[in-house]
Amino acid sequence: MESLREISGEGAASDVPVAPAPDIEVAPDVTSAADDEAEKGVAESGESDEAVSSDEGKGGLPSAADLSIVEDYRAGFDHGPKPAAFQKYIVLHDTESDSDAAAIIDWWDGNGNQVAAHFIVNRDGTIWQCVPLDRIAHHAGYGDTGHNDRYGIDEDGRDDMAGSTPIGGDFADYAMNAWSVGIEMVHVGGEGDYPEEQLRAVDDLIAYIDASFGFESEIVDHKAWRSGNSDTSAEFADYLESYRATRKHA
């Protein structure tokens, strides 16, 4: 995702206030014509969500309790249906802020941009989830023109694109949100390495996402989708190579 600094237009990571963890509130179920069309598309293609385990109240996904995930769903973060048939990528991001997940989620919810990732991994390894795996989150934004074709994805109408502002020119493609899961790591580029606890949590989270969908999604970072982005940082380069090869940081 565009860094917190880029979204806010403000220059200091400390501009995002550190807040105590909010009461957990699960957003109400959102249904729309786009949901119906997505289900119809899956049925017509002969594919189904059978690879995704059943769990009452979680859109057919396994319980987050299996990985000690803190759920904090906000209605403004949900941008449409993303059944397993439309999952292809895991996109890794840096928050570019030292604030913890609870404060970042509150800031996302309060700024009106409707931007969020599915997960945030704190430096101590705790994991927060903002959007269910079977829903679209706005974490990747616009990518390089031609990247929809490069990544084998398309803008099929499932994404409501609420809050998005077209950029055009070199950055005209917008399909990645509808075909991916976004993971934010609390990290500021240039401020040192990623803690081992955080990296182990990302390892476990990737395995959890794989198990939830029943297959392995390709792992990329945000700057692969949109050139010129800073995340993930140079400190993450070796880890990214390892994740792409082995799905673990080392």
CB 158 within 8 A of CB 82: yes
- HSE, CB side, 13 Å, CA atoms: give it for residue 147: 23
Percent of the chain with pLDDT over 70: 74
Looking at residue 23, what is its pLDDT? 38
- Residue 37: other Cβ atoms inside 10 A: 15
13 — pLDDT class (breaks 50, 70, 90):
very low
Q: What is the pLDDT of residues 113-142, one digit of tens each?
A: 999 999 999 999 999 999 999 999 999 999
pLDDT over 50 (residue 21): no
User: What is the arithmetic mean of pLDDT over 148-173?
Assistant: 96
Looking at residue 62, what is its pLDDT? 53
Q: Which helix (H) or strand (E) holds 211?
A: helix 196-213
**Domain ranges across the chain:** 4-14+65-246
> Which architecture, in CATH terms, is 4-14+65-246?
3-Layer(aba) Sandwich (3.40)
Looking at residue 50, what is its pLDDT? 40
State the burial class of residue 134 (Cβ atoms within 10 Å of its Cβ: 0-12, 13-18, 19+): buried
Looking at residue 35, what is its pLDDT? 52
Q: Which residues of 174-206 are buried (b: 16+ CB within 10 A; e: fewer)?
A: bbbbbbbbbbbbbbbeeeeebbeebbebbbbbb
CB 71 within 8 A of CB 21: no
Q: What is the pLDDT of residues 22-66, one digit of tens each?
A: 333 333 343 444 454 544 444 444 444 443 333 433 444 555 567
Looking at residue 64, what is its pLDDT? 59
Q: What is the pLDDT of residues 150-160, one digit of tens each?
A: 999 999 999 99
For residue 114, list its beta bridge partners: none
- HSE, CB side, 13 Å, CA atoms: give it for residue 49: 22
pLDDT over 60 (residue 11): no
Looking at residue 67, what is its pLDDT? 85
For residue 220, list its beta bridge partners: 91
pLDDT over 50 (residue 108): yes
